[in-house]
Structure 1
Amino acid sequence: MNTIIESILNHRSIRKFKDEKLTEEQIRLIVKSALQASTSSNVMAYTIIGVKDGIIKDELYKVSGHEHVKNNAHMFVFCGDLQRINQLGNSVKNQSVQENLESTEQLIVATVDASLAAQNASIAAESMGLGICYIGSLRNDIQRVNDILQLPEYVIPLFGLVVGYPDQKPEIKPRLPLETMYHENRYKPFAEQQRFIEAYDNEMENYYENRSSNTKVDNWTEQMIRKFSKPTRMDVTPFVKSKNMNKR
């Protein structure tokens, strides 16, 4: 096992950081690492917004509700971005690209491109001894985040990534077993996955009961049923369409 794989397998979300900022060189290296991620047809359908301003962090914190959104060394917001292509087509080459940009396919491309870039950034940051945490809760009020960051049409905020020097070392949260997540040649029926999920529930119950902080009685199945039984962030769909994306 090499050091890169060791780093990946030791990943844990960090939500408490030391009061120490990143250097400009660190920020640039993280971003340059993100930019080297694979991208569909070299579209690079994303933009990364670095957030240093404390006032903006406070506003994003009000949307997210998580303290580490305002207390971190640096924050990145990853956006799906088809605006550049729109401008090249309509303004530069005088050729309509609107129908293509409004398709579900291009929304998927933008989301995947941004996610690949973010994971590159995360691995780069962790290789520097930094900790990271993804912030999906920016979508709690996606319109507000859009307004704070002044995003034009064809650009949507997907998630945040906070980075900093860890001031905690939480236990590594177990993942679903490989036998559940990796299927060969065909999709495994749920019946073939179920016993592994049940074993994972037992493992998660033990994890929650014995971790060093925020202990509780819970498991993965119960969490998922609670999560998906209550509709959440239903405003995201009309918001995305209002940005002229995922309309076809």
Structure 2
Amino acid sequence: MDRDAANPLEQVQGRYGAGQGPETALEATNPVLETLLGHRSIRSFTDQKLAPGTLETLVAAAQSAPTSSNLQAWSVVAVEDAARRGRLADLSGRQGFIRQAPLFLCWIADNSRLVRLGEAHQKKMEGLDYLEAFMVALVDAALAAQNALVAAESLGLGTVYVGQLRQHPEQVSAELNLPPNAFACFGMAVGHPAVQGAVKPRLPQSLVLHREQYQVAEEQPAITGYDKALGDFSLAQGMGQQDWTQRMMSRVGTAAGLSGRHRMREALTALGFPLK
């Protein structure tokens, strides 16, 4: 889709694939909406370096995200060293684009700063021992990262999240020199796109938008329609005609689909999170 030429409704519908989008949308658009609606994950990068100040600007955008009770319970480790990016790639399913991208951001759910604050004031921060505290840190990190992603894409850069950074939590923690109560929850490769790619269709709004109360009555027909849209997209992109249902059966149908991440509670405990 030519985003410059598209009208607002076409921009919104372009996120869902042929015939799958909503029938109405705002009559006006703006660059922020265009950036959001045009998101696509980039897994191939040029060797062009990032402009000076890019990292600092992305982190400022990340710090502009909302944060629960102003705890700001996250950090980010920026990895530019090629050797370290290579080791992190090996720990993340050997994904080659991590080596290609000039910047790899490791987003940290970070309660360690609050632990140190308590130690400085001789106070046990008891609230950090609970699962809720980890969930807050995880959400804070995700909100910050998404701000950075949108900022990067608004600058014409390409990005992709890397959940497989969680495959080997203890080894990643050692590589990044993380203190206890800090967890590398996902990575993000950032660089200049070698290939722009296409906008991948998302689930129809009828499956994710529930008005007043959660409804499942019409779920299966909508999934069937989405299976066709995603299957056609995958075929057009040279990835074979695998639909959403097939992908979900493979991804979460068995523990093997978690690629080692089934031991997350054990790893979090080892990294200092009590999770009461």
Instruction: Name the counterpart of 2:102.
Output: 73
Shift in Å, 1:166: 0.7
Worse overlay, 238-247 or 79-88? 238-247
Distance in 1, matches of 2:100 and 2:196, equals 17
2:113 maps to which of 84, 93, 103:
84
> Are 1:95 and 2:95 an aligned pair?
no
In 1, Cα distance between the equivalents of 2:89 and 2:190? 15
Task: Give the corresponding residue for 1:106.
Answer: 133
- Secondary structure, counterpart of 1:70 in structure 2: helix
Q: Which residue of 2 aligns with 1:230?
A: 254
Superposed counterparts of 1:236-247, under 5 Å = 236-247=264-275
Matched-pair contact (CA < 8 Å) for 2:170–2:271: no
Amino acid at match of 1:176: L
Aligned partners of 1:94 and 1:246: how far apart in 2? 20
SS across alignment from 1:163: strand
Which residue, out of 14, 23, 29, partners 2:51?
23
- Give the letter for the 1:132 counterpart: T
* 1:210 maps onto 2:262 in alignment: no
Q: Flag the 1:246–1:204 CA change in 2: closer, same or farther, 3 A.
A: farther
> Superposition pairs for residues 1-248 of structure 1, below 5 Å?
1-64=29-92, 65-89=94-118, 91-97=119-125, 99-189=126-216, 191-211=217-237, 214-231=238-255, 232=258, 233-248=261-276
In structure 2, distance between residues paired with 1:109 and 1:84: 14
As a proportion of its length, which structure holds more helix?
1
Secondary structure of the residue aligned to 2:187 is strand
> 8 Å contact 1:241–1:247 — kept in the other structure?
yes
Give the 4+ runs in structure 1 shifted more than 6 A: none
Does the aligned pair in 1 maintain the 2:110–2:183 contact within 8 Å? yes
Contact kept, 8 Å, 2:104 with 2:188, in 1: the verdict is yes
Cα distance, 1:14 vs. partner?
A: 0.5
The one-letter code matched in structure 1 to 2:248 is M
The one-letter amino acid of 1:72's match is A
Q: Paired residues, what number?
A: 243
Root-mean-square deviation (CA, aligned residues, Å) is 1.1
Q: CA deviation at 1:95?
A: 1.3
Q: Quick check: 222-231 or 46-55, which moved more?
A: 222-231
Cα-to-partner distance string for 1:72-113 (whole Å, 9 max, x where unaligned): 021110000001111111x2111111x311211111100100
What code does the residue aligned with 1:56 have?
A: R
Query: 1:184 offset after TM fit, Å?
Result: 1.4
User: What CA distance in whole angstroms lies between the structure 1 residues aligned with 2:274 and 2:153?
Assistant: 34
Q: Residue type matched to 1:163 in 2?
A: V
Gaps of 5+ in 1: none
The gaps in structure 2 that reach 5 residues or longer are: 1-28
- Indicate conservation of the 8 Å contact 1:107/1:246, yes or no: no
TM-score (norm 1): 0.95
Shift of 1:246: 4.9
